[in-house]
Structure 1
Amino acid sequence: MGFHSPEYGGHALDPSVDTWSVSGVAVRYPAGHVVPAHQHPQGHLIYADRGLLRVEAESGQWLVPPTAAVWLRAGVQHRLVVPVALQAHGLFVREDVCARLPAADCVVHVSGLLRELIMALTRADNAAVGDRRMALLGELLVEELHAQPVLPLHLPWPTGGAANPIQQVCQALVDNPGDTGTAAVWADRLAVGIKTFHRRFQQSTGMTFGRWRQQLRLMSSLTLLLQGVPITQVALASGYDSHSAYTTAFRKQFGQPPSAFTASRPVL
């Protein structure tokens, strides 16, 4: 379907046709671009073949490096935040075809085959490709997507809306991942006891404060790594005391050291 700039054809990754079970579109976004909250009636796969994309929904936030894609169920409202320039590819899967795909919103690994299928479906001239080829590409994409493992790139978001003070804490940490304030400091800011703060945070996010903040820091650090910032600087900016502490946490979360991640990053 070709590339469209954010100024052309609307702000979102919208399908232009729904003739096939799977259709797609590709869009270039500049650094700093934000796509306002919107939703689609189809299941939605979002992939950025370069750069880093943040997808935000009521249930949480996901970071999408070039080796992964976000899967959203039909009707899930979301917005896109573009920390660095990228090319985004949106795939739309009809609801009647979604039964074998994840029942919850998540980040999935993108295999070499899945990547090529995404490219074929989002860049194709559908009229030239023909119905049979489009149908076969769509069927194969669903099969390959079904086989992909879910990745730990989800950050749960507090329930209860902006009135929930825990959401204010989380938003402040998102705005400054390197913030060193302890749970006790945040409890004092909210004028509650430390036990009450921990209980409310766990109830609102499903995670402890320490685990949630570490996940946020590691996810946020991916943006700096993709921008080529030295690992030691990334560690300090993300709230870690040293290169080694950051590397240990990164390896535990993502299964590889940050040096391996930076070595595989695409040229932006």
Structure 2
Amino acid sequence: MAWLNAHTNFDPDRYCASVIGIASSLGGDHDSGLHRHQRGQLLYTRQGCTRITLAQQLCLLPPSRAAWIPPGVIHRAVMQQSVDYRSIYLTPELCRELPQRVCVIEVSPLLRAVLEPMALADFDSDWQQGKFVHLLGLCVSEIREAAQHPMLLPLPRDKRLMALLATPEKLPPELQMLERQIGASSRTIGRIFQRETGMSYQQWRQQWRLMRAMELLATGRSLGYCGFELGFASDSAFIAFFKAMTGSTPGHWLK
């Protein structure tokens, strides 16, 4: 059976089939802990939001998007409140033509339709014949050709900054406060962030706020709650920020 619950300790590498699929609906928070597997993983969030932590990146997986995680990548998935997701694990041989780094992709109607029977297939299915070979071929093709979304936030490697910015739920301080907390000038902080993330600190902080806003909205938080958590003076200020960053209002984005 391919349905799993929140307490299942699942290891896809235990199985022999070239494709292993699971379907899961989780109520309440769930943390996979740091782990890796020999297979590549496509993680599709049908409902709810998943945060994936990598060695030097944070990745947000909002509803209707999928994360591609190549074989051997150490990662941690945190799911908050109610999450309905599908996961497909592919052997390294099947991953050779797929992206070699973690990315968030658009899930086309075809890929969505293909993932459901793949996630529900028996673990001993033969993926080299019958309908399974066609499902697999479509799945690999759709992953390879899918549009990618910039939902990855690089993290600084500087130890002082890592200690302050390591908590994904905690709003990063404003630049003046950060200067006092780590004892470095704004110019030094700017050089570190440009070198290690490709962004200024202000740009990085705004991207962090956007990703956190999407996570809060996707888990049912109100506009007022989101604005307060992210340091905005009013709902209208939060909406204006969200629209400037994404081109749409929070309500339209949720739809």
TM-score of the superposed pair, with normalisation by structure 2: 0.88
1:217 CA displacement: 1.1
* 8 Å contact kept, 1:13–1:27: no
Q: Please tell me the residue identity of whatever aligns with 1:201.
A: F
2:103 is equivalent to residue 113 of structure 1: no
- Letter of the 1:155 counterpart: L
- Stretches of structure 1 that go unaligned for 5 or more consecutive residues are none
Q: Distance in 2 between matches of 1:18 and 1:61?
A: 31
Partner of 1:149: 147
Question: Which one of 21, 25, 28 corresponds to residue 28 of structure 1?
Answer: 25
1:140-159 per-position Cα deviation (integer Å, ceiling 9, x unaligned): 00111122111121111223
**When the two structures are superposed, what TM-score results if normalisation uses the length of structure 1?**
0.85
In structure 2, the residue matched to 1:94 is 91
Q: Does 1:167 align with 2:165?
A: no
How far does residue 13 in structure 1 lie from its aligned partner after superposition?
6.3
AA at the equivalent of 2:146:
Q
Change (3 A) 1:159 1:169: same
Please state whether the residue corresponding to 1:36 is helix, strand or coil. coil
1:79-228 matched pairs, under 5 angstroms: 79-125=76-122, 131-159=129-157, 164-172=159-167, 174-177=168-171, 181-228=173-220
Kept in 2: contact 1:25–1:91 (CA 8 A): yes
For 2:17 and 2:26, the matched residues in 1 are separated by 27
Distance 1:66 1:126 in 2: 26
8 Å CA contact 2:17–2:123 kept in 1: the answer is no
SS at match of 1:100: coil
C-alpha offsets along residues 10-54 of structure 1, whole Å, 9 cap, x if unaligned? 1x463663423x331123333222111111112211112111111
Q: In 2, Cα distance between the equivalents of 1:82 and 1:105?
A: 18
Q: Say if 2:17 and 2:125, in contact at 8 Å, map to a contact too.
A: no
Residue type of the alignment partner of 1:193: S
8 A contact 2:50–2:78 mirrored in 1: yes
Letter in 2 for 1:140: L
Q: Cα deviation per residue 1:202-251 (whole Å; 9 max; x = unaligned)?
A: 33333221111111111111232224333244223222334344334323
The letter of the residue matching 2:21 is G
Question: Partner of 1:228: helix, strand, or coil?
Answer: coil
Report deviation, 1:169: 2.5
SS in 1 for 2:166: helix
For 1:190-210, what per-residue CA distance to the aligned partner results, in whole angstroms no more than 9, with x for missing partners? 111221122123333332211
Q: Which amino acid aligns with 1:168?
A: A
C-alpha RMSD over aligned residues: 2.3
- 1:250 maps to 242
| Structure 2 alignment gaps of length 5 or more | none
- The answer to whether the 8 A contact 1:31-1:84 is kept is yes
- The alpha-carbon deviation at position 256 of structure 1 amounts to 2.8
Moved more, 65-74 or 27-36: 27-36
Measured in 2, the distance between the counterparts of 1:107 and 1:82 equals 16
Question: Residue 100 of structure 2 aligns to a residue in which SS?
Answer: coil
Identity of aligned residues (%): 26
1:77 equivalent to 2:71? Answer: no
Counterpart residue number, 2:5: 5
Question: 1:47 is matched with which residue?
Answer: 44
Deviation (angstroms), 1:166: 1.3
Inter-partner Cα distance in structure 1 for 2:125 and 2:87 = 20
Shift of residue 93 of structure 1?
2.1
